[in-house]
Amino acid sequence: MGVAKYIKDEKDSIKEVIYQSGIKVKPVYTPKDLEDVGFEYDNDLGDPGEYPFTRNLHPQGYRSRAWTTRQYTGFGTPQETNERFKLMISHGQTGLNVAFDLPTQMGYDSDDPKALGEVGRVGMAIDSLRDFEIAFDGIPLDHIGSGLTINAVASIMLAMYQAAAEKFGYPKEKISATPQNDILKEMIGRGAWIFPVEQAVRLVGDSIEYSVKELPRCNPVSICGYHIRESGANPAQEIACAFEIAKAYIENVQSRGLAVEDFVGRFSFNLNVFGNLWEQIAKFRAARKLWAKMLKEEYGVQEKKKLFLRGLFGGGGSGLTKEQPENNIMRGAFYALGAALSGAQTTALCSFDEAYTIPTPRAALLSLRTLEIIMDEVGLRDTVDPLAGSYFIETLTKQMETKIQDEMKQIQDVGGMVHAVASGFIQRKVAQQAYEYESGIQKGVYIKVGVNKYALGSEAQTDVELHEYDEQGVDKQIAGLNELRRARDNREVKRLLKELDKAARDGRNVMPLLVDCCRAYATVGEMSGVFRDVFGEWHEPSIF
Amino acid sequence: MITKKIKILIGKPGLDGHDRGAKVTALALRDAGMEVIYTGLHQTVEQIVRAAVQEAVDVVGLSIMSGAHLPICQKLLELMKVEGIQEIPVVVGGVIPKQDIPKLSELGVAGVFPGGTSFDQIVDGINEVAK
């Protein structure tokens, strides 16, 4: 996925290069190319830290501060995850990105029949505040920010994070959580959705509105182009979808009477790095510029800091292969390089065993070391946006800008992102592209080293150490849950759940009640159950 | 002689939401001339079996990326037996470690197509088991 199409002659000379976004690349670029695209330093780039921020959000880039690293981490019980958090932090990781298991992501308790086989498998099991207290024990929550990869029940997890932090003595004004909280991208390309589109967007709006007022250091949403690209979108579409999703959330919060200027500055993004290196770099530079322009021109945002495209640009797993997994270590290094050349503030890197399992400590540490070597050894902190002025990169950046805008227009033409998702328009488009791309790989149209070129055949041994799923952890988790239900004040929980139900039905912001419910040790399943009752579940549109 | 179109149900059991493989395979099988019914996400094993019965499919396919393929397949095959449709072959694709392929066969799964299997191999494999 993500590589360019190369048309070669019989001598293996490249005749044509076509990027996934559709841009054709010439053999040579000269000053004339910059003239042809109308390139102008002040309009198109600006200095780093100056509008439109094409070069970087900050005047000194990595000279001031290396990137924040957040490897996606979590499995088994909260206890085990707490240990892995501490391990990664001890090895130099500067932020957390929490992985939750599927029952938690889907709003089920660990003993729910639907949770069978999934408790603690792809992330840690969280049933209540007590689990958060274990998971974050000993983590300095005023220093370390936590990405929470949670979407359908992000409102619950954000409330729970606040409750946990307060239990540890951290005031809510000091903590920095970034719940992913991007339900529209779930519906396009990640699948951990529960409620119908409108109601789900309402919950996103509730959490943004609450966060802006009560949790000033939190980033209430991390809009994900990442998964949309993983599902088959090309890089221009990735950004276009992310921006159109952002608009849907902006409009929801705006409709509550808040000024865009007052909340959009806390939006963040989660974007993907894999495939062709130059295409990624041009994409991010164009994206920074377009986001700032859009906020300024369409939403009247003035303050500089609020125009920033803040985000995690991270290595994408779909670029990795099952075949010859150690090749993925090299791929990871190049993706990390791409992220650095793109000026990523925060980053993460897919681990080499991605196609097999969740990362072992060895694989996770290798990813982290890759990111550290890029920053500390090979010169990516030396100067800001080192590729600026390149005839190729500046031409490509301008072309990518146009592509992104074209893709955005297509979504606008079908009535905007909410409609595009509810009708299945985006999903069908992305699935069709994924199919075409996969066909292309199988036919050799796109080269994938180790897969269709330099392949070793199915007899080749691939000894990948697998992270083992711990069945005993499940029993432990369920035992803890049962004990919790016995020990807590059940009348209080019942009362609060009833209040939550009422607030959900009345259209009031559910966050304050969620915080109360969490404090009383209501479970994820119970709180989600209330929302299931009130909102119902989404029926996804057909793919054909 | 008119060959009847193979009717295949592609199910996404359990909570896992990674459906690119299921969707891409569904499109490939449709292009190969099969009649494909895709259940969508978050199906219980009961829902998949019910759909298989209602749609009178020739093959049941599961797409599982989360690693839970062994417990899910076991439950599915048991339930198919209870419902009297145990003669319908079951095939599985997704993130399936090599060492689990014989275990799946032992359970009664007719074909395993781990990620990376080509469309041609999947089509041939399904044609084989549907005989």
How large is the ipTM? Answer: 0.94
Q: Rounded to the nearest 10 degrees, what angle do helices A490-506 and A511-519 cross at?
A: 170
pLDDT at site A94: 87
Q: Given this model, what pLDDT does residue B1 score?
A: 57
Q: Cβ B26–A231 below 8 Å, yes or no?
A: no
List CB contacts (< 8 A) between A190 and chain B.
17-18
Which is more confidently placed, A1 or A219?
Answer: A219
Contact A283, A243 (CB under 8 A): no
Tokens representing A507 are 């259209």
Query: Which percentage of chain A shows pLDDT scores above 70?
Result: 99
DSSP, res B16: -
HEC string for A515-544 = HHHHHCCCCHHHHHHHHHHHHCCCCCCCCC
CB atoms A115 and B17 under 8 Å = no
* Residue range A89-103: mean pLDDT, rounded: 92
**Contact state of B17 with A122 under an 8 Å Cβ cutoff:** no
Is any Cβ of chain A less than 8 angstroms from the Cβ of B121? Answer: no
Pairing of strands A68-69, A346-347: parallel
CB A321 within 8 A of CB A431: no
Only one residue has tokens 């600026």, namely A388
Residues of A whose CB is below 8 A from B36: 544
B101 inside 8 A of chain A by CB: no
CB-based contact A117 B14, cutoff 8 Å: yes
Instruction: Give the distance, in angstroms, between the CA of residue A461 and the centroid of all CA atoms in the same chain.
Output: 33
Q: Which two tokens stand for residue A377?
A: 């050894």
Residue A359 DSSP symbol: P
The residue ranges of every structural domain in chain A are 5-443
Contact B15 A544 (CB under 8 A): no
**Contact status of B124 with chain A (Cβ, < 8 Å):** no
Give the one of A102, A189, A439 whose C-beta lies nearest to B15's C-beta: A102
**What is the 8-class DSSP label of residue A76?**
B
Query: For the range A397-400, what are the long-range contacts, defined as Cβ-Cβ under 8 Å and sequence gap of 24 or more?
Result: A397/A44, A397/A54, A397/A282, A397/A285, A397/A286, A397/A289, A398/A37, A398/A38, A398/A39, A398/A44, A398/A286, A399/A23, A399/A37, A399/A282, A400/A21, A400/A23, A400/A235, A400/A236, A400/A279, A400/A282, A400/A283, A400/A285, A400/A286
Contact across the interface for A434 and B20, Cβ inside 8 Å: yes
pLDDT of residue A512 exceeding 80, the answer is yes
Q: Is the dihedral of CA B35, B39, B45, B47 positive or negative?
A: negative
Both tokens of A209, joined, read 């509105």
CA distance A444 to A145: 43
Do the bridges between strand A68-69 and strand A5-8 make them parallel or antiparallel, or are there none, so unpaired? unpaired
Model pLDDT for residues A352-384, shown as the tens digit of each residue:
998 777 888 899 999 999 999 999 999 999 999
Q: Establish, for the pair of chains A and B, how many residue pairs have beta carbons separated by less than 8 Å.
A: 91
Please report residues of B whose CB lies closer than 8 A to that of A432.
27
Cα–Cα separations (whole angstroms), residue A124 to A70, A104, A121, B68, B95: 16, 8, 7, 15, 20
Residues in A touching B41 (Cβ below 8 Å)? 191, 540
Judged by a CB distance cut-off of 8 A, whether residue B17 touches chain A is yes
Task: Indicate which of B10, B19, B20 best probes the interface with A, i.e. most A CBs within 10 Å of its own CB.
Answer: B20
| pLDDT of residue A460 exceeding 70 | no
Closest residue of chain B to A430, computed from CA coordinates: B20
User: Which of A328, A438, A445 would you mutate first to test chain B, the one with the most B CBs within 10 A?
Assistant: A438
- Average confidence score pLDDT of chain A: 95
Instruction: Return residues 38-97 of B near A (CB < 8 Å).
Output: 38, 40-42, 44, 66-68, 71-72, 95, 97
pLDDT of the residue at A31:
98
Instruction: Please tell me whether residue A73 adopts helix, strand or coil conformation.
Output: strand
Question: Residue A519 — very low, low, confident or very high, per pLDDT cuts 50/70/90?
Answer: very high
Low-confidence ranges of chain B (pLDDT < 70): 1-2
- pLDDT value at residue A459: 59
Question: Residue A168 above 60 pLDDT?
Answer: yes
pLDDT reading at A38 higher than 90: yes
- CB burial of A201-219 (b: ≥16 within 10 Å; e: otherwise) equals bbbbbbbbbbbbeebeebb
What was the pLDDT predicted at B97? 86
Contacts of A232 in chain B (CB under 8 A): 20
Tell me how far apart the alpha carbons of residues A49 and A55 are, in angstroms, rounded to a whole number. 8
Name every chain A residue with its beta carbon within 8 A of the beta carbon of B26.
543-544
pLDDT band at A301 (very low <50, low <70, confident <90, very high): very high
Residue A424 pLDDT more than 60? yes
Q: For B15, which of A106, A189, A438 is closest by C-beta distance?
A: A106
Q: How many CA atoms lie within 13 A of A53 on its CB side?
A: 26
CB A243 within 8 A of CB A197: no
Does the domain at residues A5-443 carry the CATH identifier 3.20.20.240? Answer: yes
pLDDT at A116 over 60: yes
Rounded to an integer, the average pLDDT of A445-468 is 81
The stretch A429-444 carries a mean pLDDT of 95
H-assigned helices in A16-144: 31-36, 78-90, 102-105, 129-135
Q: How far apart are CA A174 and CA A141, in angstroms?
A: 8
- The pLDDT assigned to A102 comes to 94
Closest CA–CA distance from residue A109 to any residue of chain B (Å): 13
Query: What structural domains does chain B harbor?
Result: 7-129 (3.40.50.280)
Chain B residues with CB inside 8 Å of A544's CB? 26, 30, 36, 38
Residue A191 — pLDDT band, cuts 50, 70, 90? very high
**Buried b vs exposed e over A138-170: b needs ≥16 C-beta within 10 Å?**
ebebbebbbbbbbbbbbbbbbbbbbbbbeebeb
pLDDT at A488: 98
β-pair partners for B13 = B43
What's residue A19's pLDDT?
Answer: 98
Strand segments, DSSP code E, in A56-181 are 68-69, 72-73, 96-99, 146-149, 177-179
| From B30, B66, B114, residue closest to A118, measured CB to CB | B66
The A-side interface with B (CB below 8 A) comprises 102-103, 105-106, 108, 114-118, 121-122, 186, 189-193, 230-232, 321-323, 355-357, 431-432, 434-435, 438-439, 442, 451, 466, 469, 539-540, 542-544
CB contact under 8 A, B15 and A105: yes
pLDDT per residue over A54-91, tens digit each? 999 999 999 999 999 988 888 899 999 999 999 989 98
Q: Is the peptide bond before A52 cis (omega within 30 degrees of 0)?
A: yes
From A231's Cα to the closest Cα of chain B, the distance in A is 6
Over range A30-59, report the average pLDDT: 97
Q: What are the respective helix, strand and coil percentages of chain A, to the nearest 5?
A: 50, 10, 40
- Cβ atoms of residues A126 and A150 within 8 Å: no
Among B20, B97, B119, whose Cβ lies nearest the Cβ of A442? Answer: B119
- Phi and psi angles of residue A222, each rounded to the nearest 5 degrees, phi first: -125, 95
CB contact under 8 A, A191 and B44: no
